[in-house]
Amino acid sequence: MPQPRKLHDRYFKQAKAEGYAARSAYKLLEIQEKRRLIRRNDAVLDLGCAPGSWLQVLDKHLGPKARIVGIDLSEVSADLSDRVVRLRGDIFATDPADFMAAAGFPDGSERRFDVLISDMAPNTTGHGDDFLSARLCERVLDLCAGLLRPGGNILMKILEGEPTPGVIARTKRMFALAGTTKPQASRDVSKELFIWGEGFKAPTAA
């Protein structure tokens, strides 16, 4: 007999106690502890940021010179400081220039984000969720060319399935180092996996 889903496990309760909008905060904290993908004063773009727990982690732990931008179709409900820029929009439709402007990068500047992160997931139906999730990850990888600095890092969630190896392979081609991890804060029954990449190999102009 399958085990009942534990809706109120220790990560849920810990998030409530510590003021995080969701348990996913501990996934980012654990991965950061292992990989150190984000430095203290980095410029970080959070794609699909609602309800805002990853933005809360960045807001709490990054330094005064850090730039923090998040975007989502839904409103961000998390308690955040004024330095966190929240955009409402679709990552497939938003002009990359809007992300640059939100970070305060001067027009025409070569400045880019140091890290792109994504905890996005599709509205799951049980049928084709892995393909929808892979499409979101492919969009994150597409955005790297215009938004991520050479040598920058990436972290994104994917729901495991048939297209997952292809997304991982593409990430490995684009980054000097890449791999996957599943943090303890992920539910045992969850199909989610996190793909990380270090050292973005930015495309060179022809």
Per-residue pLDDT of the chain (206 residues; tens, 9 = 90+): 344 444 446 655 665 555 576 788 899 999 999 999 999 999 999 999 999 999 999 999 999 999 999 999 999 989 999 999 999 999 999 999 999 999 999 988 899 999 999 999 888 777 789 999 999 999 999 999 999 999 999 999 999 999 999 999 999 999 999 999 999 888 777 789 999 999 999 886 54
Nearest CA to 199 among 149, 165, 162?
Answer: 149
| Domain membership flag for residue 28 | yes
- Annotated active-site residue in 13, 16, 27, 157: 157
| Domain membership flag for residue 194 | yes
C-alpha to C-alpha distance for 163 and 191, rounded to whole angstroms: 13
Domain that holds residue 96: 10-200
At residue 158, φ and ψ (nearest 5 deg) are -135, 145
Per-residue confidence (pLDDT) for residue 8, from 0 to 100:
46
Per-residue confidence (pLDDT) for residue 164, from 0 to 100:
97
C-alpha to C-alpha distance for 55 and 76, rounded to whole angstroms: 9
For the record, the structure tokens of 35 come out as: 């990989």
C-alpha to C-alpha distance for 99 and 115, rounded to whole angstroms: 13
Beta partners for residue 192, in sequence order: 159
| Domain membership flag for residue 1 | no
| Domain membership flag for residue 78 | yes
Please, are residues 29 and 181 in contact by the beta-carbon 8 Å criterion?
no
Please, are residues 90 and 136 in contact by the beta-carbon 8 Å criterion?
no
Per-residue confidence (pLDDT) for residue 191, from 0 to 100:
87
| Domain membership flag for residue 132 | yes
| Domain membership flag for residue 93 | yes
Q: Count structural domains, the chain.
A: 1
Please, are residues 16 and 38 in contact by the beta-carbon 8 Å criterion?
no
Per-residue confidence (pLDDT) for residue 21, from 0 to 100:
62
Reply yes or no on whether 60 is catalytic.
Answer: no
| Domain membership flag for residue 87 | yes
| Domain membership flag for residue 39 | yes
State the sign of the Cα–Cα–Cα–Cα dihedral 138, 73, 160, 116.
Answer: positive
- What CATH number did the domain enclosing 44 receive? 3.40.50.150
